[in-house]
Amino acid sequence: MHSKPAFPAVFAYFVLLLYLARTDLHAQILNVEKERFLPDSANYWMLNLSASLSLYNRSALADNPLRYTSLRGNVDVLRAGKKHLYLLLNQYSYLKINDAEFFNFGYTHLRSNLLWQRTLSYELFAQWQVDKLRGLQERYLGGGGIRWRLLDTPQHHVFLGTGIMAEREHWQLNDKSTSYEANPFLWKSSNYLHWRGQITPALKTVMAVYYQTGYDESVNNFRHRLNGELHLNFPISKKLKFNTSFTASYESLPLIPITPFIYQFSQGLVFSL
């Protein structure tokens, strides 16, 4: 008796690798700064909208089909008024091959920056998030804090933020015969450092570091989350640019057995006419 070719399964994993290669690292801390634009004046609107849907059943064997479903989309809105700045971020990514769900990530983030043009301003934020690949079924959080403009020159912009937030999570992950589940509620300190700089006339950089921590009575210890991103951009010629980025996320005491440290390193060329 001849065994069935493994082509559909191999192709499925190849498609998955391509999907992940063009997907940003989804850390447990959302990087808001990379979406926050620094307008030169007030009364500014910005809208970023994209959506894609892919469905097909391309397969070589009638009795071993390959059904592929992919959905991606985001809606980002920024409003910079004379006194206050408002930011709404929405993103969703979904990938399913046959009956296996490989990717299901999304978030909605709402933030207001009150008196945003002052050296010391104030922030209020709320967020919903899901990341089922890592076992996060749902996360709700809300809080506020202060944003301090440490440096503001034509070459460099440095901001420091600190505040407090309340976070409710639902984690669930099934591993063969074992099921893991956790439903924590924590008050946390939320902090970040953001830098946009023109290091040389040709080299630009964007860096953001986020740190959250809260005391969990169930383990009599603090839980720490750290997320960092670094992006470098410099032109090789008038039409060719080189981009490199590194993103990493670390969770000190995962609530379920997941990889505590994840990272992504990427480099590429951008050609424009």
Q: Which tens digits make up the pLDDT trace of 42-80? A: 678 888 888 888 887 776 666 777 788 888 899 999 998
Residues ≥6 apart with Cβ < 8 Å to 79: 44, 45, 46, 85, 86, 87
> Residue 4: which pLDDT band, with cuts at 50, 70 and 90?
very low
Neighbours of 93 (CB within 10 A): 20
Identify residue 207 by its one-letter amino acid code.
M
Cα(196)–Cα(210) distance, integer angstroms: 15
Considering the entire predicted model, what is its pTM? 0.81
Q: Check pLDDT > 80 for residue 225.
A: yes
CATH fold group of domain 7-271? Lipocalin (2.40.128)
Domain boundaries, the chain: 7-271
Lowest mean pLDDT among 61-75, 147-161, 208-222: 61-75
Per the model's pLDDT, the better-predicted residue between 64 and 82 turns out to be 82
pLDDT 10s digits, 228-271: 999 998 888 888 888 899 999 999 999 999 999 999 898 888 77
Cα(258)–Cα(6) distance, integer angstroms: 29
Per the model's pLDDT, the better-predicted residue between 221 and 16 turns out to be 221
Report the candidate in 144, 137, 217 with the shortest Cα–Cα distance to residue 173.
137
pLDDT at 217: 92
